[in-house]
């Protein structure tokens, strides 16, 4: 059985300050727990509903419907920020929605993009909603926070920025290497980061003259862009 203090400590990991203090984050679900155990991450503890009971699992779960298993995983130590100049890197500029960030990490894994970098004000990768949305990709894709302008300035590879006024991605020449910047849906790419962009691209609407939504969801746009880069 779990004690009240243990339940309190696990629940506290829903907050960033406690995750950072204890260097732990939560993984839920049989698939994600198995992914964690198979990875290089240190799994500190695995809790299963069959062992602790349904009520205890419901109290420590951060999901609306508790899963059969939950693991406490150690955060890796800080690593040097890397940009793969021989391949593709995704850069996230001030993305705040956990589901979008987690989905983009999952997309990076699917399309064989090993590095994702992000501005320091992008949502915490160890937020439980981000972790769930990655579907295990968090254990395979290298993710780093940094001052984006400092990292992007002076790169030898192309830096692609997603803009509504950019060049049609389907008509543009795309390289096999480079950085793809995804900006927030509300503000787009920030001014400082935008100064590092060498190529502006956009996904055009196919609306036949009728009114459509202003833009795509950032994760949906990332999927289209990654697919087009890989198709070439």
Per-residue pLDDT tens digits for 115-154? 999 999 999 999 999 999 999 999 999 999 999 999 999 8
- 223 and 157 in a single domain? The answer is yes
Q: Which of 46, 74, 102 is the last residue of a domain?
A: 74
Which pLDDT score, from 0 to 100, does residue 130 have?
Answer: 98
Q: What total number of domains does the chain contain?
A: 2
DSSP bridge partners of 199 = 160
Average pLDDT over residues 29-51: 97
Q: Are residues 197 and 174 in the same domain?
A: yes
Q: Are residues 212 and 123 in the same domain?
A: yes
* Percent of the chain topping pLDDT 90: 86
Could you report the per-residue pLDDT of 64-114, keeping only the tens digit for each?
899 999 999 999 987 778 788 889 999 999 999 999 999 999 999 999 999
Whether residue 166 is found in the same domain as residue 209? yes
Domain annotation covers residue 83: no
Q: Is residue 80 part of a domain?
A: no
Domain extent for 60: 4-74
Do residues 218 and 148 share a domain?
A: yes
pTM comes to 0.93
**pLDDT class of 208 with cuts at 50, 70, 90:** low
Domain of 63: which CATH number? 3.30.1330.30
CATH at 150: 3.40.1280.10
Residues 26 and 101 in one domain: no
Clarify whether residues 69 and 112 are in a common domain: no
In a domain? residue 8: yes
């Amino acid at each position: 059985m779990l004690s009240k203090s243990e339940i309190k400590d696990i629940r506290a990991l829903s907050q960033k300050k406690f995750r950072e203090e204890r260097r732990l984050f939560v993984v839920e679900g049989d698939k994600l727990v198995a992914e964690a155990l198979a990875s290089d991450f240190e799994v500190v503890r695995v809790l299963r509903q069959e062992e602790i009971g349904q009520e205890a699992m419901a109290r420590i779960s951060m999901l609306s419907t508790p899963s059969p298993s939950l693991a406490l995983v150690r955060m890796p130590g800080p690593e040097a920020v890397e940009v793969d100049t021989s391949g593709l890197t995704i850069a996230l500029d001030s993305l705040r929605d956990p589901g979008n960030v987690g989905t983009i990490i999952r997309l990076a894994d699917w399309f064989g993009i090993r590095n994702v970098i992000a501005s320091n004000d992008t949502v915490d990768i160890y937020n439980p909603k981000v972790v769930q949305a990655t579907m295990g990709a968090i254990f395979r894709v290298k993710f780093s926070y940094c001052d984006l302008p400092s990292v992007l300035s002076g790169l030898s590879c192309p830096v692609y920025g997603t803009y509504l006024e950019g060049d049609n991605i389907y008509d543009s020449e795309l390289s096999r290497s480079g950085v793809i910047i995804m900006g927030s849906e509300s503000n787009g790419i920030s001014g400082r980061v935008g100064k590092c962009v060498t190529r502006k691209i956009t996904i055009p609407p196919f609306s036949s003259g009728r009114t459509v939504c202003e833009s795509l969801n950032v994760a949906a746009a990332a999927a289209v862009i990654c697919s087009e880069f890989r198709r070439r």
